[in-house]
Amino acid sequence: MEYRELPERRGVTMSPMKRKSFSFGRIINSMGLLILVLLWILPTIGLFVSSFRDKDQLALTGWWTALSTAERSEFRRTGIQEDQVERNGKYVIAGNLLEPGGKKIQTFSTNYRNLTAHEAGDTVKFKDSSLFTLQESGDYEWVSNVPFKHKRGKRIFYVAKVPPTFSLDNYREVLSSEGVGQSFINTLRVTIPATVIPIMIASFAAYAFAWMEFPWRRFLFVSVVGLLVVPLQMSLIPLLSMYNEIGNYFGVVAKSYPGIWLAHTGFGLPLAIYLLRNYMGSLPREIIESARIDGATHFQIFTRLVLPLSVPALASFCIFQFLWVWNDLLVALVFLGKQDNQIVLTSKLRELLGSRGDNWEILTSSAFISIIVPLIVFFTLQRYFVRGLVTGSVKA
């Protein structure tokens, strides 16, 4: 008997046109995702490149021109009469107009309105019959038959080509600034306890909301979730006033480390309880019930079963809380002082800039110095990050 393929079976086979359309769709999706990723990391790339450029380059050109040679118009003054020397009956003032960095002069002039009047290497005759020669390297020689009487150097305007230069000067300036190292340690003193404390409290609360029966459980959980919408800025002043009132009784004062630990704990608990409760609630019920049948208490179930299985969720919140506390400036300004043993890194870097934005070029290097520790934490725990957020969002 001759075998013939059934129509249903033939319908399963993908036609070349569908296969081509499917491959084309995957390519479009991959390209779209790649474009989104590039757009997302583009500012970070620009910040990283700018952190190695000097102040003049940052002020005149964008980071995307960092590898190209730029032209810059400047002026410098020559030496004065005290710098002259006598050679073969003539008086000479010599020197160099350029700072180290590889610049090369293209044209120069004594008039700022005509910067291309003379090429580098030309000899120009001034009104007093003196001769001035400026080389491409910036070396100049000013020769006169009579002694110079200039108490101020003559202004020379020039156009120079500036090659792309990169250095660690911005990083050296930040790291060598007084108090930066101590502020780094102070930030660790704030961040580590302010991350551990809410995780400990939230894990117990999440287990209770997920697996324990008690009155008003749903109402309390909804109330905790509702705290997520309360703006942090609205609670700062009331919390500070409360600290001042009860500080004499419990020793928790506003301008102290325990004060800021409790503040960050309160601000982080709603999100922590929400994430952990959803994750713990998605764990297999059979495991919990088997432990109860074997006579395990809630504390034993939590410490031996639920807690080890909840490591992805704990790691996810740890990343959130650590990044939030490490980059915080507002809460630190309210609940900590500006003494050397309390000021955090973000506040210290703000002071380095000055009230008028002086030394703004160190912003780029300061940004990367401040994210070193968060990057280490994120890449250490990133394998748990997505799994901890996604698991528990939908129950089977």
Given the DSSP bridges, would you call strands 123-125 and 85-87 parallel, antiparallel or unpaired?
unpaired
Q: Please tell me which residue, 111 or 10, carries the higher pLDDT value.
A: 111
pLDDT of residue 249: 60
pLDDT of residue 396: 39
Q: Is the pLDDT of residue 22 over 60?
A: no
pLDDT of residue 123: 92
- pLDDT tier at 394, thresholds 50, 70, 90: very low
Q: What is the pLDDT of residues 194-220, one digit of tens each?
A: 999 999 999 999 999 988 888 888 899
Q: Is the pLDDT of residue 254 over 80?
A: no
By mean pLDDT, which of 160-164, 174-178, 247-251, 296-300 is the weakest?
247-251
pLDDT of residue 246: 73
Instruction: Calculate the average pLDDT of the chain.
Output: 82
Instruction: Give pTM, 2 decimals.
Output: 0.70
Stretch 157-163: mean pLDDT? 88
Q: 90-94 contacts: CB < 8 A, separation 24 or more?
A: 90/143, 90/144, 90/145, 91/143, 91/144, 91/145, 91/146, 91/147, 91/148, 92/141, 92/142, 92/143, 92/144, 93/141, 93/142, 93/148, 94/139, 94/140, 94/141, 94/142
Q: What is the pLDDT of residues 43-93, one digit of tens each?
A: 888 888 888 887 777 777 788 888 888 788 888 999 988 889 998 889 999
Q: What is the pLDDT of residues 272-331, one digit of tens each?
A: 999 899 888 888 888 888 888 888 888 999 988 898 888 888 888 888 899 999 999 888
Stretch 360-380: mean pLDDT? 82
- pLDDT tier at 2, thresholds 50, 70, 90: very low
Stretch 239-244: mean pLDDT? 79
Q: At what angle do helices 345-353 and 180-211 cross, to 10 degrees?
A: 140
H/E stretch holding 161: strand 155-162
pLDDT of residue 15: 57
Which of 77, 81, 116, 113 lies closest to 97, judged by CA?
Answer: 77
Stretch 144-154: mean pLDDT? 87
- pLDDT tier at 359, thresholds 50, 70, 90: low
Q: Identity (one letter) of the amino acid at 218?
A: R
Stretch 17-29: mean pLDDT? 68
- pLDDT tier at 393, thresholds 50, 70, 90: very low
Q: Please tell me which residue, 17 or 395, carries the higher pLDDT value.
A: 17
State which CATH number among 1.20.140.10, 3.40.50.720, 3.40.80.10, 1.10.3720.10 fits the domain covering 177-390: 1.10.3720.10
pLDDT of residue 247: 65
pLDDT of residue 1: 45
The domain limits of the chain are 16-66, 70-163, 177-390
Q: What is the pLDDT of residues 119-135, one digit of tens each?
A: 999 999 998 889 999 99
pLDDT of residue 333: 87
Measured at the CA of 198, the angle between CA 192 and CA 202, to 5 degrees, comes to 145
Q: Is the pLDDT of residue 107 over 60?
A: yes
Which range has highest mean pLDDT (92-101, 203-212, 387-396)? Answer: 203-212
Q: What is the dihedral of CA 10, 11, 14, 15, to 10 degrees?
A: 80
